[in-house]
Chain A
Amino acid sequence: MITRREILQVGAATAALTVGGGFTRALAQQKLTESELTKFDALGNVTLLHVADIHGQLMPVYFREPSINLGVGEDKGQPPHLTGGDFLQRFGIPAKSAAAYAMTSEDFSALAKSYGRIGGLDRLATVVKRVRAERGDKVLFLDGGDTWQGSLGANASRGQDMVDCMALLKPDAMTGHWEFTYGEARVKELIKGLGFPFLALNVRDTEWNEPVFPPYKMFEKGGVKIAVLGQAFPYQPIANPRWLIPNWSFGIREDDIRANVEKVRKAGAQLVVLLSHNGFDVDRKLAGRVQGIDVILTGHTHDALPEAIKVGKTLLIASGSHGKFLSRLDLDVQNGALKGFRYKLIPLFADAIKPDAEMTAAVTKARAPYAKELARVVGKADSLLYRRGNFNGTFDDLICAALLKERDAEIVLSPGFRWGTSVLPGTPITVEDIHNATAITYPQVYRMAMSGQRLKEILEDVADNLFNPDPYYQQGGDMVRCGGLGYAIDVGKPIGSRISAMTHLKTGKPIDPNKDYTVAGWASVNEGTLGPPVWELVERYIAAEKTVRMAPNSSVKISGV
Chain B
Amino acid sequence: MKQPVDFTVTPAFVTKLSLMMALALLPHVANIPVNISLYLLLLLTWRIAGLYWTRLLPGRWLLLAATLISILIVYAQYQTLLGRDAGVALLGMMLMLKVNEITKRRDIYVSVFISYFVIITQFLFSQSVLLTLYLLGVVIGLTSLLLEINRVTPPRRPYQPLISTFKITLQALPIALVLFIIFPRITQPLWNFSSEASARTGLDDRVSPGTISELIESSEVAFRVQFMQPPPPKQQRYWRGLVMWDTDGYSWYTDDKQVLRSETIKLMMIDNPVKYEIFLEPHDEAWLFALDLPLEAPPNSRLSQDFQLRYNEPVTKPINYSLHSLTRYGMTRLAPGLRRRALQLGDNVTQRQRDLVARWRADSADDRAIVDQALAFFNTEPFIYTLSPPRYPGNPVDEFLFEGMAGFCEHYATSFSQLMRIAGIPSRLVLGYQGGEYNALGDYFIVRQYHAHAWSEVWLEGRGWVRIDPTAAVAPERIEYPLRLAFGEQGAPAMFEIDGGGMVAAMMRHFTHALDSANIQWRRWVVGYSREHQFTLMRNFGLDSYSAMQWSLVTLGMVAIVLLLVGLNIVRRGRLLLSPAQQGYQRFCNKLSRIGISRRSYEGPMDFARRAARNRPDLARQIMAIVDLYIRLRYASQERDGRQLRLFARQVRQFRPRQR
User: Does A pair with B?
Assistant: no
